[in-house]
Amino acid sequence: MPVPIKLLTTSELLARQAIALQKRPEQLAMLRSTVFERRVAVAHRFKEEHKHVIKDFDFEQKSLNHKTRPHYIGPLVVIARNRGSAYILAELDGTVFDRLVAAFRLIPYLARTNPIHFQVGDLDLNAEHLQRLEDTQVTAEDLAELEGLANDDN
C-alpha cells in the first residue's frame, strides 16, 4: 500500500485499514518468517558485536499483562510537541488523539518523499485548544507515572 502523501478522509483511512486487514494467510506467514529471520540475524550480530559487555543475569521470567504489552495502532501524524516533550498526535484523517503521548511510546518513521502537510482547520480541534495542549508542561516521565498509577488501580 503506498505511503499517503496528504491527509486522508475518514472513509479513505477506513479503506486503507480494511485493505491491511485483508492480508492472506500465505502473505502473513511469509512476512512473519521474513521478519523473524531478520530479527534473529540482528540479534546474533548484536550478541557477537557486544559479547564482551553482555552479562547473563538469569532473571526469573514474568509474563506481562495485556496493559503493558506494546500496541501498534498504525501510522499517525505528529501535530506538535508540548513544552514537556510529550507529543500531540492525529490519525491520517485529522482526528486528534485525546491525550498526549510520550516519546518513548512512538516508533519513528521518516517519509522519504513528500511529508504530509496540514492546516489547523484540517484537524478536529480549534487553534486555541491546540495551543493549550502545546503549552502544557506534561513530560514523558509524568505520562509514564500516570500509566503506572492506572495499572496499579486495575
Quick one: pLDDT at residue 54?
A: 83
pLDDT band at residue 154 under the 50/70/90 scheme: very low
Q: Which pLDDT tens digit goes with each residue over 64-113? A: 666 666 677 778 888 888 887 888 888 888 888 878 888 888 887 776 67
pLDDT band at residue 41 under the 50/70/90 scheme: very high
Q: Which pLDDT tens digit goes with each residue over 7-35? A: 888 888 888 888 877 777 777 788 888 88
Distance set, CA 95 to CA 28, 76, 90, 146 (Å):
29, 10, 5, 23
pLDDT band at residue 42 under the 50/70/90 scheme: very high
On the question of pLDDT at 53 being above 80, the answer is: yes
Q: Is the pTM of this model over 0.85?
A: no
Q: Which pLDDT tens digit goes with each residue over 119-147? A: 777 777 777 877 777 887 777 677 767 66
Residue 88 CB contacts under 8 Å (≥ 6 apart), including other chains: 78, 79, 80, 81, 82, 96, 97, 100, 101, 130, 133, 134
Residue 3 CB contacts under 8 Å (≥ 6 apart), including other chains: 111, 112, 113
